[in-house]
Structure 1
Amino acid sequence: MLGENHALMYEYPELKEKIHQLKLSDEAFAQMAKEYHDLDHEIRGLEVNGVPTTDSRFVELKARRVHLKDQLHARLVNGKG
């Protein structure tokens, strides 16, 4: 769905407390989470506002978001990523 919010808290509500803890205690996690948030915000802005962009740029942004989400999830469930 266009404009859907993919914030970590919505994607993993059962891990909300762990997300918060890692943002405070793990600098690498916090940086990745910020990049993920910024990408999600940019993607939603492009979708909702109909901002012109190339398909390849849009795909690149979404692929980066998925990659970050996978890394963040790995850290959340087993401390690696």
Structure 2
Amino acid sequence: MSHVPHELHEEFPDKTDQLHQLKVSNAHFAKLADEYHSVNREIHRIESEVEPASDEALENLKKQRLHLKDEIAALLAAA
């Protein structure tokens, strides 16, 4: 189990400028990025045993993070 947060700039290292540009120019993208960050931090707290959660809750959060990442990747590809 990884206790390293999956930040967007680490997930898309070749797209850091594009990430920033979309965050400031596209409200939908900014909302997705904020939601990704929130879910990602919650996963990190659970994996680091700072916050308790069931395995099912953790798996649901991971699925949500993956879905958000897929949406973000699609917007990055389209930009």
* Fold shared, TM-score > 0.5 on shorter chain: yes
Q: Distance in 1 between matches of 2:49 and 2:67?
A: 24
Structure 2 letter corresponding to 1:70: D
Aligned to 1:4: 4
Residue aligned with 1:4, SS: coil
User: Which stretches in structure 2 are left out of the alignment for 5+ residues?
Assistant: none
Q: Write the deviation string for residues 5-33 of structure 1: whole angstroms up to 9, x where unpaired.
A: 21110011100000000000000000000
Q: Distance in 2 between matches of 1:62 and 1:14?
A: 23
| TM-score, normalisation: structure 1 | 0.90
Q: Distance in 1 between matches of 2:55 and 2:10?
A: 26
Q: Write the deviation string for residues 39-75 of structure 1: whole angstroms up to 9, x where unpaired.
A: 1111001111253211111111000000000000000
Q: Give me the identity figure in percent.
A: 38
Greater relative contact order (Cα < 8 A, sep 6+): 2
Structure 1 vs Structure 2 CA RMSD: 1.2
| TM-score, normalisation: structure 2 | 0.93
Residue aligned with 2:48, SS: helix
Q: Distance in 2 between matches of 1:55 and 1:45?
A: 13
